[in-house]
Chain A
Amino acid sequence: MAELRYREALNAALREELKRDERVLLMGEDIGVFGGAFKVTAGLLEEFGERRVRDTPISENTIVGAGVGAAMSGLRPVVELMTVNFALLAFDQIVNSAAHIRYMFGGQVTVPLVIRMPQGAGHQLGPTHSHCLEAMFLHVPGLLVAVPSTPADAKGLLKTAIRDENPVIFIEHESLYGIRGEVPEDEDVTVGFGRARVAREGKDVTIVGVSRMALTAERAAETLAQEHGIEAEVIDPRTLRPLDLDTILESVQKTNRCVVVEEGWPHGGVGANLAALIAEHAFDDLDAPVARVSGADVPMPYSKPLEEIAFPHEPQIVQAALATTGARPASTAVGG
């Protein structure tokens, strides 16, 4: 094990997979000479050269489409988009091409493409650089969606994504790039998709935290234990497609209560999806409705105090967990 930052763990995964497989190449805006907008690809151009680490023009839809074409013809491209909002320029290629091609062409080809992008609020970047859009990608059959929250998962999931035959939307979080954690150094260690991580065991309430919210949920669980005597079980699904529903359901069968925490918008969100799945599969186990804590139902504001209340923090999660036990009034979306 080595202690690495989240960005260093991603960098290690890319380096190891570039070394391991000649078919792997990186493409993206400013990933080479500049080293990546968030320095995830720092040093890789120097190590692997321009053939394999490619700075691209600012042409998101075409970069992703070129990744699709290259993946269809034998390569394993990893495309970096500078933020999740820029992925919206590439939505045609992500949905109409990457996600659909295998099905549309009767299984004749696969699209082993990874599209990496950071998301998340907290840096006062306003409405075009700060959103959490994992639900949009989750909506699309044909895509896999990974949302790592720890350095170890960032590395292990990215290695799996690169080795997988399916197109993978790999969503990093801007606020997590600097966090540290123990990361396996063994190049053969990966984290499989569809395997949730139980970040904390507990018997009273299940809290599912998506992306950065897994860490916020862990802190909330600490508060619940220390101040309220409530033992929360915190689950990080790690991938939204495939989803390890079994682990979530087993937990709910034990705790009989569930709170889903996400940074994205409430309508049609990950929480809405999970609440429906839990209701469908474990209704009789529930002692309270599944609670949702989400980002506010607004474009992300610039001003610091507004931005701070537009995405979830510990107190909202604590309150929602208490509400499922009947201790406090119910509350759903932060601003909604």
Chain B
Amino acid sequence: MTMPTLPEPEIAREWLATMTLIRRFEERAGEMYARAKIGGFLHLSIGEEATIVGSARALLDSDYLVSTYRSHGYALARGTSPEQVMAELFGRVDGCCGGHGGSMHMFDSSRRFMGGYGIVGGNLPIAAGIGLASDYTKTGDVTLCTFGDGATNQGTFGETLNLAALWRLPVVFMVINNQFGMGTSLERHSAVTDLQRKGESLGVPGTRCDGMDVLDTHAALAEAVERVRRDRRPVLVEAVTYRFRGHSMADPEEYRTKEEVAQWRERDPLLVFGALLEGEGILDSQEREELDRAAIAQVDTAVEFADASPFPAPESLYEDVYVIDEQVRGAYH
């Protein structure tokens, strides 16, 4: 593949700004978790920002995005406000899911971000169903479904890729290969480590991109999305990346060395892309700093907002379990 060309300066700046926002958001979320403002599990996308922005920016606003439990960055990239995402992490009423979902279950239907899902591989069939609806109603929309390397060992991977190929569903499957299924390294969890090939026997052709490089990721996904929109057949894209932090905040990271992490950090997608833009004269170092400060300020505002937002009222416990209308009466609970 030829070296991907830079987008228009304004677009390139936006990509860097969004990647920076995700980075600063995730760092702050980690701090808030340590201060017990956030409960449960917290899976951060630090190191994987290029895979999020590179893929999300390959979509039209009318396309659908389905992600994993590592879901904050996707919501932010789709345009959900940092306030709403942080408030959801805080379990507050102004969270994007009203405090019912939490870190693993962000959702924003107005931006066609169709959810973070807590079960590894559980999001693939749902993405196929969304693709089925697009196909059925002939809208031309494409669904992007992201999942980790670990999910390629789930039954739903084989089942869903087969179904999507059989029914010619407009779905781009994107495996974010961050080298680990939680603490088990790729070569220890998958007999085939060339993940882009895992769809071949199911009728889904694969490609690979450098998930540390937002330009390469965007180029690969833009091509995949265009191909799926045109041919109405699914494809698989493997983005090779690395998460700089543990699987979740509750991960002592005893399964990898500090040297390995340091090596990957040299390819930090924010630093690499920022330096590239500076080298190309699109941003100077002062503008890069300003962009970073702006991201930090956005996150400050998000934390203030989340902290000020009330917890859901106890009487809201039973809201949104059922849609109850005149057709349905009787005891539910």
Contact = CB atoms under 8 A, between A and B. Distances in A.
B286 interface: no
B329 A195 contact: yes
A198 B175 CA distance: 55
Contacts of A61: 125, 155-156, 159
B330 A244 contact: yes
Contacts of B134: 73
Given A73-B130, A192-B328, A245-B330, A166 B322 contact: yes
A243 B331 CA distance: 5
B10 to A, nearest CB: 31
B329 A194 contact: yes
Residues of A contacting B: mostly: mixed
B108 interface: yes
A106 B271 CA distance: 36
B113 to A, nearest CB: 10
B145 to A, nearest CB: 10
Interface in B295-333: 319-323, 325, 327-333
Interface in A76-130: 77, 92-93, 96-97, 101-110
A102 B298 CA distance: 29
B128 A105 contact: no
B329 to A, nearest CB: 4
28 contacts: A54-B167, A59-B162, A61-B125, A62-B124, A63-B125, A65-B128, A66-B129, A69-B129, A69-B130, A69-B131, A70-B130, A70-B133, A72-B130, A75-B133, A103-B320, A103-B321, A104-B100, A104-B107, A106-B101, A106-B320, A110-B323, A141-B333, A144-B322, A144-B328, A160-B327, A164-B328, A166-B323, A246-B330
A66 B328 contact: no
A242 B132 contact: no
Contacts of A59: 159-160, 162-163
Contacts of A166: 322-323, 328
Given A59-B163, A62-B125, A192-B327, A102 B133 contact: no
Contacts of A245: 330-331
Nearest to B115: A105
Contacts of A74: 133, 137
Nearest to B105: A104
- Sorted from nearest, which 8 A-B pairs have the closest CB atoms? A69-B129, A65-B125, A194-B330, A242-B330, A107-B320, A106-B97, A62-B159, A106-B98
Contacts of B64: 73
Contacts, number: 178
Interface residues of A, number: 57
Given A70-B136, A73-B133, A105-B107, A56 B163 contact: yes
B321 A70 contact: no
Interface of A: 25, 51, 54, 56-57, 59, 61-75, 77, 92-93, 96-97, 101-110, 141-142, 144, 160, 163-166, 190, 192-195, 239, 241-246, 277
A25 B129 CA distance: 12
Interface string B99-137: 111000101110000110111001011111111111011
A57 B156 CA distance: 12
B101 A104 contact: yes
A142 B129 contact: no
A72 B133 CA distance: 9
Contacts of B333: 141
Given A141-B333, A193-B327, A193-B329, A69 B159 contact: no
A69 B162 contact: no
Nearest to A52: B136
Contact of A104 (B97, B130, B163, B166): B97
Interface in B35-74: 64
Interface of B: 64, 95-101, 105, 107-109, 114-115, 117-119, 122, 124-134, 136-137, 155-156, 159-160, 162-163, 166-167, 319-323, 325, 327-333
A204 B85 CA distance: 59
A157 to B, nearest CB: 11
Given A61-B125, A142-B321, A163-B327, A69 B136 contact: no
A21 to B, nearest CB: 13
B323 to A, nearest CB: 4
A69 B125 contact: yes
A277 B330 CA distance: 13
Given A66-B126, A66-B128, A108-B97, A102 B329 contact: no
Contacts of A65: 122, 124-126, 128-129, 156, 160
Nearest to A69: B129
Contacts of A73: 64, 114, 129-130, 133-134
A106 B167 CA distance: 31
A243 B330 CA distance: 5
The residue in A64, A70, A93, A244 that gathers the most chain B C-beta atoms within 10 A of its C-beta is A70
A117 to B, nearest CB: 17
Nearest to A241: B332
A107 B323 CA distance: 9
A97 B132 CA distance: 17
A190 B329 CA distance: 14
Contacts of A194: 328-331
Contacts of B167: 54
Given A51-B136, A106-B96, A106-B97, 8 more contacts: A69-B128, A69-B130, A72-B130, A73-B64, A102-B322, A160-B327, A195-B329, A244-B331
Given A103-B321, A104-B97, A71 B331 contact: no
A115 B11 CA distance: 45
Nearest to A96: B119
B137 A93 contact: no
Nearest to A62: B159
B330 A69 contact: no
B330 to A, nearest CB: 3
A231 to B, nearest CB: 26
